[in-house]
């Protein structure tokens, strides 16, 4: 059902037949990683200043030290 170099749809399912799919993956992975880093930084610095909102599960789970001591969201 796949066609080389094409994206086809069969019964509502897209079948990707790219010729060089493996060569495309690193580019997309880098984009996704960069977007994740950007989103974390925007969360930590919402108005250009550091905001450690420990009620936010992403921030709480990311911080390993605070005010010179090891920190854990469960501690």
Q: Confirm if 61 and 75 have CB atoms less than 8 A apart.
A: no
Can you point out the beta strands (E) in the chain? 7-10, 13-16, 65-66, 69-70
pLDDT at 29: 85
pLDDT at 21: 77
pLDDT at 14: 94
| 50 located within any domain | yes
| 4 located within any domain | no
Work out how many domains the chain is built from and give that number: 1
Q: Are strands 65-66 and 13-16 parallel, antiparallel or unpaired?
A: unpaired
- Residues making up the chain, counted from first to last: 75
Nearest partner of 52 among 62, 42, 40, 44, judged by Cα: 44
Tokens for 2, please give them. Answer: 């796949």
The whole domain housing 27 covers 22-70
| 12 located within any domain | no
Task: Point out the residues of the chain with pLDDT beneath 70.
Answer: 75
pLDDT at 75: 56
């Amino acid at each position: 059902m796949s066609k080389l170099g094409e994206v086809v749809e069969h019964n509502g399912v897209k079948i990707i037949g790219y010729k060089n799919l493996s060569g495309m993956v690193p580019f997309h992975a880098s984009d996704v990683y960069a977007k994740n880093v950007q989103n974390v930084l925007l969360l930590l610095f919402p108005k250009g200043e550091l905001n450690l909102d420990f009620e936010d599960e992403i921030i709480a789970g990311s911080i390993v030290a605070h005010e010179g001591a090891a920190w854990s969201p469960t501690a």
